[in-house]
Amino acid sequence: MKGRDLVPQLRIRGGFRHGDAILFEGLDLVLEAGQWTCLLGPSGVGKSTLLRLVAGLDTGGEFDGSIESTNSRPLREQVAYMAQSDLLLPWLNVRANVMLGSTLRGEVRKLERADQLIEEVGLGMHAEKRPHELSGGMRQRAALARTLMEDKPLLLLDEPFSALDARTRSEMQELAFEVLMDRTVMLVTHDPSEAARIAHRVYLLTETGLHQPDVTGRPPIRAFDDPEALNIQSRLFSALRL
């Protein structure tokens, strides 16, 4: 990453509406610099919309508020995005997919760096393969390497592990946490156990607005059978059911 001191804290304040329907209002959410912030909530409350707002993507609605960053760089230059679907281009092999960003910007492609990241996510033997030759977990690993290749201080992850089986999901959480260390991460998820394992801070977005349940304890990443993680998980479940 170009200068760790550039890792920003982000504050999102305001409301959002689709036509006459208000999705959320009076929101005040802080993404602490260098930490994982999970946005947890049921489907349809606007978690992904909020993430798309930060990513500068089309939301189909109207945001009335502000997104402030503690550094002066334009937000668009700081953001890397990872979605639930791996979004690997099926006509490119893993290596070319990992280098997609530089290809799309017309920059010199850093082959060595790409191969190093592919190795880091455990796909060293599969760099020449096309996405349809990989398993779901491997594809998400490739997507993670592509996200890392962007080398951005702010990571926006929209339920990237939700389509994976339980074991692969747990492995991917650990891998992502390790390789995204010290970056500001916003993770949208509907899974309390994922938030309990991986989050420094959790925001709960429900139909009644934004809440911040207490998840204080040992810093993440927490083992899946850690009593503290299980305790946080049950508190998040309770908060979700309120």
Binding region for another protein (CB under 8 A) = 52, 55-58, 76-77, 79-81, 83, 85, 87, 89-91, 100-101, 103-106, 130-132, 150, 156
Nearer to another protein, 163 or 240 (CB): 163
Nearer to another protein, 71 or 170 (CB): 71
CB atoms within 10 A of CB 102: 16
Burial of 214 (0-12, 13-18, 19+ CB in 10 A): exposed
Say if residues 33 and 8 touch (Cβ distance below 8 Å): yes
Tell me the residue type at 138. Answer: M
Minimum distance from residue 218 beta carbon to another protein (Å): 33
C-alpha 212, offset from chain centre:
18
Minimum distance from residue 154 beta carbon to another protein (Å): 11
Nearer to another protein, 128 or 214 (CB): 128
Minimum distance from residue 159 beta carbon to another protein (Å): 12
CA distance 183 to 30: 14
Minimum distance from residue 25 beta carbon to another protein (Å): 25
Nearer to another protein, 56 or 217 (CB): 56
Nearer to another protein, 79 or 198 (CB): 79
Nearer to another protein, 150 or 228 (CB): 150
Q: Which residues touch 140 (CB under 8 Å, ≥6 apart)?
A: 86, 160, 161, 164, 168, 172
Minimum distance from residue 125 beta carbon to another protein (Å): 20
C-alpha 232, offset from chain centre:
20
Minimum distance from residue 160 beta carbon to another protein (Å): 12
The SS3 of residue 123 is coil
The string over 103-134, giving b where at least 16 C-beta atoms fall within 10 Å of a residue's C-beta and e elsewhere, is eeeeeeeeeeebbebbebbebeebbeebbeeb
